[in-house]
Structure 1
Amino acid sequence: MSSARIPSVPLAQQAQIIRAHQRDLIHVSSLREQTENILRSWFGTRWLTRFDKEVELSVRLMYHALTTGRAIQTLGEEYTNIWVHLKWARAPRIRAALVLLPTIPSYLLARLGPPLYARYPRSKDIATVAMNVIELASEINVALFYITGVYYRLVQRLLGVPHTSATPIDPNTRPPSYSLLGVLILVRLGHRLLSYLRSRPSRSVPSVSDEKSPEYDNLDGPQLDDRPVSTLLNYDPEADLVSTDKEEQPSVIDFESVPASVRAGRTCTLCLEERTATCVTECGHLFDWNCIYSWGRERAECPLCRQSLNLTRLLPIHNL
């Protein structure tokens, strides 16, 4: 008497994986919104604006740690009846990597990046190249997923962790194919690569303005008042006063030369810290750009006078 053969578990279909991923995004977004409402009622909007990145990180870690970290389905995977492959679901290191790799690096780059860039300017270029490489790898991974049908997320492809389905495959039904989307993404990436290669030789040709203004050779970095920020680090405020040019010369504040009594009045009313990127609303109130932008995403009103707030009408002020 021959023993019964145990059938193999089929891989999850593309439509199941996509719906599960979209469902998880909805649940994480809802959980974050509810968490922010609770924290806002406890600590206020200023505190929430200051620690918004920590709140987002905590919500994402909690959601995936309580599901993937415990080797159980997420709400999206439960909705479509798929599982992380049992061979890898039992490995604690793999589960920890699935939870930490998509969340921790992006948080560290967003929180620790600006202070690191100020201290080591070269690190900003390295971080920019790294982010572009990761973004390109993610797009290529999505294209390969649409063509092959496995590994929707880049971290799953790197770890070799596929999804399996608890729903048996119907031999009489042909599953939908997303191969055309994958081909279109690869065509778009090829077009971007071709455009980049064509634009490279033109950048090496010096322009007439470069010959007249050798101090502005580095035009790839951030600029302020049509001048590279790197040229403003050693700015001399008396240079513009003795200039014989009748036209108005662009200027920028040297914050270190501003008296302490004056700097005390440059406090943002949202974060209670000195404004480093001042902007003004339509109602005439001054805030730090990041603070009022984060506020406007939650409430479309000025935090001081409660007038309507339109983020597209914020006016940056460079010298105040």
Structure 2
Amino acid sequence: MSLPSYPQAQQAQIIRAHQRDLYHVSSLREQTESVLRSWLGTRWLTRWDREVDLLVKLAYYGVTTGRATQTLGEEYTDIWQYSASSQRAPPSSRIRASLVLLPTICAYSLGRLGNAFALRERLPWLGEVLKSLPTGLEVVSEINLAIFYLRGTYYDLLKRVFRIQHISSIPEDPHTRPPSYSLLGLLIIARLLYRLTTAVRTQAVNTTSASSLRGKEKARASPDSRETFLDDRPVSSFLGPENPEGEPATPAEDDERTMLDIVSIPDTVRASRNCTLCLEERTDSCSTECGHLFCWSCIVGWGREKAECPLCRQSLNLTRLLPIYNL
């Protein structure tokens, strides 16, 4: 009596499983954010949104892949992970831990380090590397995806590195031909070639422009012309932090960007100055194009996630926010 052999998972099953996993992770994050928003407020959630996303992904993949069980997407399509280098045995504990930790922690670290303004000021070369690294990883992931569509194995780049494939518990039908996704792979390759050509042309134009600008600047540069002044104040002093929503909340009494005497305002009037996002008294007040007032840090954090006003859903352009000093 021979043991039953399971066929390789089809491309459609792997793609569908990945889509279902993304859906469940997104749904779990929305529910987590809803609970945290009601407990701790929108401002706290905006400041720690990356950490929340990290914990949600670690929790979802930790209790599934980390425990050598199917994810909800794999269970939906009835496929299982196995190690191609160990005769269809389940992945080892170290490989499972790598599959859970590497994609989540690396993405989180790149996001945090890429926004570290102080680090980029001290080490400009490191800032440029961190800025270009996500683009490089995106290109490598697209190349891996094109290979998957052409050959049908290793949908995820990390699984290609560790040689993790899928088997299906659904027997093959000899009378049915599985669908082919080779055309999608060719389209991805064509898009990558177009991006490469565009990047080379842009780099050539930028190099020519930079060399001409350097020549002009050397002709009229002086030691005292490094800083630009406006009314005897350097322009750099007007620039705020690059990540304002990550800054701690400022009490309304300490708001320096208002002409009002906050302390002398009656409590009934101050109650009407609350920001609808953080539910606290507005600081660094600004107005959107549709006329609604918010804290600067709150609306910037919101606008980076959704380009619409949180009240009227009109399109939101962060470059058109208007500072308000008397409301």
Q: TM range, normalised to the smaller chain? A: 0.7 to 0.9
TM-superposed CA distance for 1:295, in Å, is 7.6
- Alpha-carbon distance in 2 for matches of 1:56, 1:266: 33
Structure 2 matches for 1:252-263, cutoff 5 A?
Answer: 252=235, 254-255=237-238
- Hey, what's the Cα distance between the residues in 2 that align with 1:138 and 1:295? 23
Deviates more, 1:108-117 or 1:174-183: 108-117
State which of 114, 126, 129 in structure 2 corresponds to 1:126. Answer: 129
Deviation at 1:253, TM superposition (A): 5.1
Amino acid at match of 1:89: P
The CA deviation at 1:81 is: 0.2
Residue 154 of structure 1, CA deviation: 0.9
Structure-2 separation of matches of 1:156 and 1:264: 51
Give the structure 2 partner of residue 243 of structure 1: none
Measured on the aligned residues, the alpha-carbon RMSD in Å equals 3.7
Q: Which amino acid counterpart does residue 52 of structure 1 have in structure 2?
A: D
Q: Which residue of 2 aligns with 1:145?
A: 148
1:164 counterpart = 2:167: yes
Pick closer, same or farther for the CA change 1:295–1:263 going to 2, 3 Å. Answer: farther
How far, CA to CA, are the matches of 2:195 and 2:165 in structure 1?
30
Question: Secondary structure, in 3 states, of the residue corresponding to 1:177?
Answer: coil
For the Cα contact (< 8 Å) 1:293–1:311, is it kept in 2?
A: no
Contact 2:17–2:74 (8 Å) recurs in 1: yes
Change (3 A) 1:110 1:317: farther
Partners of 2:21 and 2:73 within 8 A in 1:
yes
2:185 maps to what in 1?
182
Q: Measure how far apart 1:190 and its partner are.
A: 1.6
State the TM-score, normalized to the length of structure 2.
0.73
Are the counterparts in 2 of residues 252 and 318 from structure 1 also a CA contact under 8 Å?
no
Aligned to 1:82: 79
Q: Does 1:293 align with 2:303?
A: yes
Partner-residue secondary structure (3-state), 2:177: coil
Taking a change above 3 Å as real, the CA distance of residues 46 and 60 of structure 1, as seen in their structure-2 partners, is same
2:32 is the alignment partner of 1:41? no
Counterpart-to-counterpart distance in 1, 2:210 and 2:158: 44
Q: Structure 1 residue 197 and structure 2 residue 188: aligned?
A: no
Distance in 1 separating the partners of 2:188 and 2:46: 36
Match of 2:69 in 1: 72
Closer/same/farther in 2, CA of residues 188 and 295 from structure 1, 3 Å limit: closer
In the TM superposition, residue 16 of structure 1 has moved relative to its aligned partner by: 0.2
Match of 2:316 among 282, 293, 312: 312
* Partner residue in 2 for 1:107: 108
**Would you say the 8 A contact 1:84–1:161 is kept in 2?**
yes
Aligned counterpart, 2:287: 280
Partner residue in 2 for 1:96: 97
Report the Cα distance in structure 1 between the residues aligned to 2:197 and 2:226, rounded to whole angstroms. 37
SS at match of 2:57: helix
Cα separation, 1, equivalents of 2:104 and 2:210: 43
Query: Aligned to 2:18, which of 13, 18, 21?
Result: 21
Q: Distance in 2 between matches of 1:295 and 1:129?
A: 21
Q: Deviations over 1:234-268 (max 9, x none)?
A: 4444579xxxxxxxxxx835159xxxx99842499
User: Are the equivalent residues in 1 in contact too, given 2:61–2:100 (CA < 8 A)?
Assistant: yes
C-alpha contact 1:235 1:254 (8 A) present in aligned 2: no
Change (3 A) 1:233 1:5: farther
Aligned residue number for residue 59 of structure 1:
56
Structure 1 unaligned runs (5+)? Answer: 217-230, 241-250, 302-307
Deviations 1:170-207 (A, max 9, x none): 11111000011101111221222233334443333348
Give me the TM-score of the superposition, normalised by structure 1: 0.75
> Is 1:11–2:8 an aligned residue pair?
yes
SS in 1 for 2:80: strand
Task: State the one-letter code of the partner of 1:293.
Answer: G
On the 8 A contact 2:229/2:235 being kept in 1, the answer is: no
Give the structure 2 partner of residue 265 of structure 1.
256
Count of aligned pairs:
282
Gaps of 5+ in 2: 240-251, 259-273
2:131 & 2:199 partners in 1: Cα distance? 16
Distance change >3 Å, CA 153–CA 295, structure 1 → 2: closer
* Structure 2 counterpart SS, 1:11: coil
Percent identity at matched positions? 44
115-124 vs 40-49, greater mean Cα deviation: 115-124
Q: In structure 2, how many angstroms separate the alpha carbons of the residues matched to 1:120 and 1:42?
A: 39
Q: Deviations over 1:6-25 (max 9, x none)?
A: 34332110000011111111
Q: Are the counterparts in 1 of residues 82 and 89 from structure 2 also a CA contact under 8 Å? A: yes
